């Protein structure tokens, strides 16, 4: 494996390029759980509702919704 910078925080780590470090990956998974839980409780929520109620940025919510 090579040394590369985390695509989330820029920290140097032993992973392939453009991969999240362990800390950013944990945050990424936690964000996904927040979004999933909110959508299960509020199925008609908009992207703006998700961002406002979960505390995540509109950009992050939009990226998750596109998946």
In a domain, 5, yes or no: no
| Spatial separation of the C-alpha atoms in residues 33 and 56, rounded to whole Å | 12
In a domain, 1, yes or no: no
pLDDT band at residue 48 under the 50/70/90 scheme = very high
pLDDT for position 17:
63
In a domain, 2, yes or no: no
Give 59's DSSP letter: H
In a domain, 11, yes or no: no
Note the pTM of the prediction, 2 decimals: 0.79
In a domain, 4, yes or no: no
CB neighbour class for 2 (10 Å; exposed up to 12, middle 13-18, buried from 19): exposed
Range of the structural domain that residue 47 is part of: 20-66
**Backbone dihedral angles phi then psi of residue 61, each to the nearest 5 degrees:** -65, -45
Q: Are 2 and 16 in contact (CB under 8 A)?
A: yes
pLDDT for position 1:
64
> What domain count does the chain have?
1
Q: Mean per-residue pLDDT for 1-18?
A: 80
pLDDT band at residue 38 under the 50/70/90 scheme = very high
pLDDT for position 19:
84
């Amino acid at each position: 494996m090579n040394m590369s910078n985390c695509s989330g925080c820029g920290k140097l780590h032993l992973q392939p390029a453009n991969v999240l470090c362990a800390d950013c990956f944990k945050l990424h998974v936690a964000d996904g759980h927040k979004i999933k839980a909110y959508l299960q409780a509020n199925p008609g929520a908009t992207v703006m509702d998700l961002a406002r109620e979960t505390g995540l940025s509109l950009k992050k919510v939009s990226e998750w919704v596109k998946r």
